Chains A and B, each alone.
Chain A
């Protein structure tokens, strides 16, 4: 079965039981891989418990899953997903990262890893020729970078670890792979912490089987050429994802001062692509076999003579423009701290922004130390969040619980309890609908809407009219539905990366799947798989009593900006949802 290894590692930490799980070839065909296959597995593993299981219950399965393209040498195809019931949202949770973990899981002989149960003591799961659980109380309390350094040693383990935030079950704790590859969203690190699982270390030597090596080699060259000729990819290579800050600011896409302002020229200039390259950049890095190399290295805030992973766009926007902070070095320090502590930078910065607004409005006296004029306090606050100390204990539960606690729901910045990522639905109305209907909550990476509305990607099967505008709601429901279905295959299941695959379209995905798996997938079948995946995640949420009545946007996005690229624009969410659900039902 080319493209797959045909085995999923199953580890029950409570029983210290390790086995393998096999699936029928038709199951792989129906769900493809990644979080699509994970949704199918979760449904089958939990069955009747799915509707009420607490995300911190040991039975909540934490599922790492690759796609058929992961671990092949196609550029932009290193992705692996982590899924579980989310402690932050209470519903389906998933997060994705690149790096080398997915490739290594396959090299160790598995398509994925299911971890269930709870270890009696903190453990590390070692996956190599032999699988073993090692009690490692000495690692508990260490940050993710120290943990990585201790585990990796001089060997070649690829590591996914939690930091103090995961151990303390901060609801938006992340899992950090090596240094700087974050499974950031939906609190997967908190689930891992609840299992007393400090880290997973993987090492293997198997090659992901490719069915047609000749077709694969040709396709690999073709995709590299496409990538090389793409201006968007050239931008990512030169400036990383933060290269989009200035262009996003032009269209009103960037969050400024708690989403309250439409433009901030001085801030964007201080935080933008050229400032980044001139002030803090020390080099760039790539994920496995990727030609884009969009990852940045900056001076290590702790030891400036060394390099450390630098902030990406979402983090620059979160700790920069959103918090009205134009100090790029401070943003880099906040990024470093979040990586080390194991905190999602989007949820952390959004929760802090909400606390500042509550302080401004006199709704929470204890948050007075937070203000738009005092950005340096961010670092102390992040430490407190990870440790659940003082106000950090309240902030550790995320934005929606914060506003509920102080009766300030009008300041909520979440959809289904997941903090909105840093692209403004007033600039791109389709993205607003994608946020509202997102199965993990507000999400910009599980469907193709953002790439399409930004204008970066064009797909043959998704119609974009000649007079296409981001700031209109008319016609966007169809686009979003199609972008979710195709995106569920392209981004969530296949192993392709949202950034690396910007220049690729459906025919490239079809060619890649054919060369790797040896199976032809029609466009109709791909869309059908995508719809199946989307519906399965929706079913899981509905089983947990979260239905389409939760498809909403935060109030702030219905207040038009008075300046900037999205001046006067608000999404017509009633129209968008009405048309969308007519298409879905």
Chain B
């Protein structure tokens, strides 16, 4: 397992989402989707929710919530934490992961497709973020 526990996942991937929420290009795009997206992770168990509908903290375009909550998600993405980590490093073929069931997406395809434009900038942010928080040991060698 890449992450030893949920708190590490929240630091790394949750932190990436917060950076995305603060990002001048990504933040407004996600906000404009007006959807709630839940990411359910296993090994370790964790959950992150992107809430674009309620008022976000200052400096963010949307909320990032750690752990369980009662929000009704429009899109639910489920995967192992390792796949999530590899995905944000740009190492996972999204379509193949979905076809193989390594990632499971539930929700209307129109909402799922809304996420595509933010993936590319997030690929660039994630390695930077890992370095900034002292998790650069999780980066592949070429980074």
* Residues of chain A at the chain B interface (Cβ within 8 Å): 231-232, 234-235, 237-239, 243, 246-247, 249-251, 263, 265, 269, 273-274, 454-458, 464, 468-470, 565
Contacts of B113 in A (CB 8 A): 235, 238-239, 243, 246, 273-274
Q: Could you give, for residues 115-135 of chain B, a 1 whenever the CB lies within 8 Å of some chain A CB and a 0 otherwise?
A: 011011000000000000000
Contacts of A458 in B (CB 8 A): 99-100
Given pairs A458-B99, A565-B90, 4 additional interface contacts (CB within 8 A): A231-B98, A232-B99, A250-B120, A455-B95
Contact indicator B116/A247 (Cβ below 8 Å): yes
A454 to B105, CA, bound (A): 17
Contact indicator A455/B93 (Cβ below 8 Å): yes
| B47, chain A: closest CB distance, angstroms | 21
Contacts of A565 in B (CB 8 A): 90, 120
Contacts of B1 in A (CB 8 A): none
User: Is B54 interfacial (CB 8 A cutoff)?
Assistant: no
14 A-B pairs with CB atoms under 8 Å apart are: A231-B105, A231-B112, A237-B109, A238-B110, A238-B113, A239-B109, A249-B120, A250-B116, A265-B120, A273-B113, A454-B95, A455-B97, A455-B100, A468-B96
A476 to B110, CA, bound (A): 33
Contacts of B95 in A (CB 8 A): 232, 247, 454-456
A239 to B116, CA, bound (A): 14
| B95, chain A: closest CB distance, angstroms | 3
User: Is B2 interfacial (CB 8 A cutoff)?
Assistant: no
Q: Could you give, for residues 21-41 of chain B, a 1 whenever the CB lies within 8 Å of some chain A CB and a 0 otherwise?
A: 000000000000000000000
A265 to B98, CA, bound (A): 24
Given contacts A247-B116, A250-B119, contact A455 B94 (CB under 8 A): yes
Contact indicator A470/B93 (Cβ below 8 Å): yes
Contacts of A469 in B (CB 8 A): 93
| A502, chain B: closest CB distance, angstroms | 9
A232 to B119, CA, bound (A): 18
| B4, chain A: closest CB distance, angstroms | 23
Among A232, A234, A238, A246, which residue has its beta carbon within 8 angstroms of that of B116?
Answer: A246
Contacts of B93 in A (CB 8 A): 251, 454-455, 468-470
Given contacts A231-B112, A235-B113, contact A247 B94 (CB under 8 A): yes
A454 to B100, CA, bound (A): 12
Contacts of A274 in B (CB 8 A): 113-114
A454 to B93, CA, bound (A): 8
Most chain B CB inside 10 Å of its own CB: which residue of A243, A247, A250, A457: A250
A273 to B105, CA, bound (A): 19
Number of interface residues of B (CB under 8 A): 19
| B83, chain A: closest CB distance, angstroms | 11
Contacts of A455 in B (CB 8 A): 93-100
Among B90, B109, B114, B119, which residue has its beta carbon within 8 angstroms of that of A231?
Answer: B109
Contacts of A456 in B (CB 8 A): 95, 99
Contact indicator B109/A235 (Cβ below 8 Å): yes
Instruction: Give me the 9 closest cross-chain CB pairs, A-B, nearest first.
Output: A455-B96, A455-B95, A234-B109, A246-B116, A455-B93, A238-B109, A235-B109, A458-B99, A456-B95
| B17, chain A: closest CB distance, angstroms | 18
A251 to B97, CA, bound (A): 14
Given contacts A456-B99, A457-B99, A468-B96, contact A246 B117 (CB under 8 A): yes
| A457, chain B: closest CB distance, angstroms | 7
| B101, chain A: closest CB distance, angstroms | 10
Contacts of B117 in A (CB 8 A): 246, 269
Contacts of B90 in A (CB 8 A): 565
A60 to B120, CA, bound (A): 50
Given contacts A246-B116, A250-B119, contact A464 B96 (CB under 8 A): yes
| A274, chain B: closest CB distance, angstroms | 7
A238 to B100, CA, bound (A): 22
A243 to B112, CA, bound (A): 12
A406 to B64, CA, bound (A): 58
Contacts of A251 in B (CB 8 A): 93
Question: In the complex, what residue of chain B is closest to A244 when comparing beta carbons?
Answer: B95
Question: In the complex, what residue of chain A is closest to B100 when comparing beta carbons?
Answer: A458
Contacts of A231 in B (CB 8 A): 98, 105, 109, 112
Contacts of B105 in A (CB 8 A): 231
Contacts of A265 in B (CB 8 A): 120
| B2, chain A: closest CB distance, angstroms | 15
Most chain B CB inside 10 Å of its own CB: which residue of A237, A247, A274, A455: A455
| B55, chain A: closest CB distance, angstroms | 26
| A165, chain B: closest CB distance, angstroms | 35
Contacts of B94 in A (CB 8 A): 247, 250, 455
| A107, chain B: closest CB distance, angstroms | 34
Question: In the complex, what residue of chain B is closest to A471 when comparing beta carbons?
Answer: B93
A247 to B100, CA, bound (A): 17
Question: In the complex, what residue of chain A is closest to B101 when comparing beta carbons?
Answer: A458
Contacts of B110 in A (CB 8 A): 238
Contacts of B99 in A (CB 8 A): 232, 455-458
A464 to B102, CA, bound (A): 14
A231 to B105, CA, bound (A): 8
Contacts of B114 in A (CB 8 A): 274
A247 to B118, CA, bound (A): 11
A454 to B114, CA, bound (A): 19
Question: In the complex, what residue of chain A is closest to B142 when comparing beta carbons?
Answer: A568
A250 to B100, CA, bound (A): 19
A246 to B100, CA, bound (A): 21
Contacts of A237 in B (CB 8 A): 109
Contacts of A235 in B (CB 8 A): 109, 113
Contacts of A464 in B (CB 8 A): 96
| B27, chain A: closest CB distance, angstroms | 16
A235 to B113, CA, bound (A): 8
Contacts of B109 in A (CB 8 A): 231, 234-235, 237-239
A251 to B99, CA, bound (A): 17
| B5, chain A: closest CB distance, angstroms | 25
